[in-house]
Amino acid sequence: MDKQTFIQKAWELSARYTCSPEVKAHLAQLELIATVGATGAGKTTLMESSGIPYVLSDVTREPRRQEKDGVDYNFRTDYDKLWAELENGEFVQYYVSQTFEFYGTKATAYPKEGFCTLALIASLLNLFNNLGFHSIVPIYILPPNYTEWMRRAENNYDGEVKKRLIEAKESIELALSEPSYNFLVNDDLNMAIKEFQNIAYGKEKDPAYQERAREVAIDLLTKIEL
C-alpha cells in the first residue's frame, strides 16, 4: 500500500474509529498530562525532563531538522502494517492533518498504568477527554516572550513559521477559553520543570503565577502577525 492510499483509507475510517476493548481497559489505568503549546515553547524538553513517562506518537510525515526516529516521533512508512494496526484497534486515537499526514498514538506507547505525558494540539483535548483515561490534566506551555518565541520557531521550522503561527493563534485562543487549562511559562528551565511536575501531580497551584502566565498568553496573541 502506498502512502496516498493509506492516508485516504485512514481518513475514511477516522469518523468511526474506536480502539479495542483491551485498549479501553488500559486507558482507565492512566493519568494523562496533556501537554499543549506553541511551536518553540519547549514542550518536548519539559516532558522529557519531568521524569514522567513520555508517549511517542506515530506519524507519516518526514522528520524535521534535528528530529530523530524513536526519540521525537515514530516515523512510519510501513503503510500495510499501519493499516492492519488500525483495523485491529491498536491505536488509542489518530487523526489525519490538513497537510494529509497521519498522527496517532498506539496503546503500546503508553505505560501500563499511572502518569504519562503526551504532546497534543489544543483542538484534540475534547477528543481525549472522551477516550476513558482515569484523569487528564491539560498544561499549556508558553515561551517567555514574543522575541524569544520567534527565535526558537525560526531555528526549528524553516519556511513553516507562518503556518505554525496560525496554529498557535488558534490554540492559544482555545486554551484561554477553557477553564481546565493550566498555563506554564518556560523561561527558566529548572523552574519550569518543577512547575510542570507540581501541576501534573496535583500540588497546590499559585493563583498569581497562573494569572501572570495567562497575561503572557494574551500578550503573545496580540503580537501574532499573519
Q: Is the model's pLDDT at 159 over the cut of 70?
A: no
Mean pLDDT of 25-48: 90
For residue 161, what pLDDT is reported?
Answer: 64
Mean pLDDT of 156-164: 63
Distances (CA, A) of 66 to 55, 72, 74, 213, 216: 19, 9, 14, 29, 28
Residue type, 174: L
Count other C-beta atoms under 10 Å from residue 163's C-beta: 14
* Crossing angle of helices 161-177 and 146-156, rounded to 10°: 130
- CA nearest 97: which of 130, 64, 68, 60? 60
Q: What percent of the chain has pLDDT over 90?
A: 54
What is the dotted CATH code of the domain comprising 3-223?
A: 3.40.50.300
Can you name the residues that pair with 183 across neighbouring β-strands? 140
Q: Is the model's pLDDT at 150 over the cut of 90?
A: no
For residue 171, what pLDDT is reported?
Answer: 86
- CA nearest 182: which of 36, 55, 48? 36
More confident: 34 or 71: 34
The mean predicted confidence, pLDDT, of the chain is: 89
Q: What is the pTM assigned to this prediction?
A: 0.86
Q: Is the model's pLDDT at 181 over the cut of 70?
A: yes
Residue indicated by cell numbers 524538553:
45
More confident: 15 or 207: 15
Strands (E), the chain: 30-37, 58-59, 74-75, 91-96, 102-106, 114-120, 135-142, 182-185
pLDDT band at 158 (very low <50, low <70, confident <90, very high): low
